[in-house]
């Protein structure tokens, strides 16, 4: 039985369709039968509808897909290229050599040997077969980029990661057997990280598109953990947008749709559902799910080898902070202050982006509790980092804090307003 594909509304595909590895490989080989088959599988178009796009009748489309008819005419080739909107850069003779996937980032520790580095940066141009060491190195690059984003934020890394994803996708043309599955899995992880960074920068449409693409690739690669994670992160997006019901539904879908997911990934989904309930004012459901999520994560900690690499930040400190966030939604200001203060004290300095966000939330909690002086102190400390790495979410939280203090007539709030204007 074949692996499932997401069926798209063709009008919403945009150029992102042409980042799919099967399509890229088929176009690069000028295997027009494979191009048509892959295009129809991804878009859900019938042979008749696809034929209308490329100026061919259904029997001709069928014959090309089955290999019974070869595309030798320049006119027919151009009709396919134009009708399907194939980017010129994917066609033979127009493909640019991929740049090094680590541009702009120097990794700590020993790098790859010269031969491996050559394979990573020029594998598409050469006849080298995609191999395990190459994919191992790309796995390491992604892990290092994730860690870097914790400290420097998403803005400096978005361009690098787009370039690296293209390198991974291009590898598909030379991958065979289990290596092909691994390339798709790696592409799914890159797309999820790009979605997260797009969301962090307030680019909601781009984030949703990347999460959808990551989810599709995860299903194709049989990766239950990433399939569930993408749904959990879409729940996080809904929560960020103030849509509690949608956050709960997506988080629940993350749990039931991927029963093979690890305990840690299940815990993340339960926690995301708790956020949605807290946003809706349902404190009992939020507390129950947070307890369940913390139990799952604690059990998972006994076998870290069973967890995907992107779960590295989940632990007791993280859950303390989540309880603080739930209390903030429920306007239990004192509990929010206590949890966020404890969590921030234990959060390592290298998590600069997260420290900025939770500081902004702590300032809001203090303001809600009527403690203007510590609210101002914490908020003013967070402003420079919010401007550098935490925007727009931490930035918006600081503005909410300032607005709350202004409504309550807090003294010295003009200092925070001035600081926000200075860095805005």
- Give the model's pLDDT for residue 348: 84
Beta strands in 246-365 (DSSP E): none
Tell me if 261 sits within 8 A of 224, measured CB to CB.
yes
CA distance 327 to 305: 32
Closest alpha carbon to 167 in 137, 143, 146: 137
* 321-325, Cβ contacts within 8 angstroms, sequence gap of 24 or more: 321/347, 321/354, 321/358, 322/271, 322/274, 322/275, 322/290, 322/293, 323/290, 324/358, 324/361, 324/362, 324/365, 325/275, 325/278, 325/361
Tell me if 243 sits within 8 A of 202, measured CB to CB.
no
What would the pLDDT profile of 253-305 be if each residue is shown by its tens digit?
998 888 889 999 999 999 999 999 999 999 999 999 999 998 998 888 888 88
Under-70 pLDDT residues of the chain = 1-16, 19, 21, 89, 92-129, 390-391, 424
CA distance 189 to 226: 7
Q: What is the DSSP string of 239-274?
A: HHTT-HHHHHHHHHHHHHS-TT--HHHHHHHHHHHH
- Give the model's pLDDT for residue 89: 67
Task: Please classify residue 388 by burial: count the beta carbons closer than 10 Å to its beta carbon, then call 0-12 exposed, 13-18 middle and 19+ buried.
Answer: middle
CA distance 26 to 16: 16
**Which contiguous run of DSSP H or E holds residue 311?**
none
Enumerate the domain spans of the chain: 10-90, 114-200, 333-424
- Give the model's pLDDT for residue 391: 61
CATH class of the 10-90 domain in this structure: mainly alpha
**Taking the model in full, what pTM does it have?**
0.67
Both structure tokens of 259: 């029963």
CA distance 131 to 378: 50
Tell me if 217 sits within 8 A of 192, measured CB to CB.
no
Tell me if 55 sits within 8 A of 71, measured CB to CB.
no
CA distance 411 to 383: 18
- Give the model's pLDDT for residue 288: 95
Report in angstroms the alpha-carbon separations of 291 from 268, 274, 298.
Answer: 12, 9, 10
């Amino acid at each position: 039985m074949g692996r499932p594909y997401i069926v798209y509304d063709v009008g919403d595909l945009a150029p992102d369709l042409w980042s799919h590895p099967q399509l890229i490989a088929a176009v690069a080989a000028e295997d027009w039968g494979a191009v048509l088959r892959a295009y129809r599988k991804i878009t859900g178009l019938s042979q008749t509808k696809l034929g209308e796009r490329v100026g061919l009748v259904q029997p001709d489309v069928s014959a090309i897909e089955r290999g019974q008819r070869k595309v030798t005419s320049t006119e027919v080739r151009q009709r396919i290229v134009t009708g399907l909107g194939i980017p010129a850069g994917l066609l033979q003779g127009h493909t640019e050599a991929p740049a090094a996937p680590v541009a702009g980032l120097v990794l700590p520790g020993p790098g790859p040997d010269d031969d491996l580095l050559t394979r990573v940066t020029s594998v598409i141009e050469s006849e080298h077969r995609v191999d395990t060491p190459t994919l191992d190195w790309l796995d390491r690059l992604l892990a290092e980029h994730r860690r870097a984003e914790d400290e420097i934020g998403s803005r400096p890394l978005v361009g690098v990661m787009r370039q690296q994803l293209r390198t991974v996708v291009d590898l598909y043309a030379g991958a065979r057997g289990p290596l092909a599955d691994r390339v798709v899995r790696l592409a799914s992880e890159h797309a999820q990280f790009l979605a997260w960074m797009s969301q962090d920068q307030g680019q909601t449409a781009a984030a949703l598109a990347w999460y959808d693409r990551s989810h599709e690739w995860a299903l194709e690669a049989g990766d239950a953990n990433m399939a569930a994670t993408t749904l959990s992160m879409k729940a996080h997006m809904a929560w960020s947008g103030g849509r509690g019901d949608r956050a709960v539904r997506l988080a629940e879908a993350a749990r039931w749709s991927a029963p093979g997911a690890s305990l840690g990934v299940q815990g993340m989904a339960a926690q995301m559902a708790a956020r949605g309930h807290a946003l809706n004012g349902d404190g009992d459901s939020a507390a129950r799910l947070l307890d369940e999520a913390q139990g799952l994560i604690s059990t998972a900690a006994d076998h870290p080898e069973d967890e995907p690499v992107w779960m590295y930040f989940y632990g007791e400190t993280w859950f303390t902070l989540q309880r603080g966030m739930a209390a903030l939604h429920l306007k239990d200001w004192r509990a929010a202050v206590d949890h966020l203060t404890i969590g921030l004290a234990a959060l390592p300095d290298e998590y600069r982006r997260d420290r900025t966000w939770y500081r902004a939330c702590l300032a809001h909690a203090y303001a809600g509790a009527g403690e203007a002086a510590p609210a101002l102190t914490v908020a003013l400390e967070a402003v420079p980092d919010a401007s550098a790495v935490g925007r727009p979410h931490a930035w918006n939280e600081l503005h909410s804090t300032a607005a709350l203090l202004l409504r309550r007539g807090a003294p010295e709030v003009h200092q925070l307003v001035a600081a926000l204007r200075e860095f805005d």
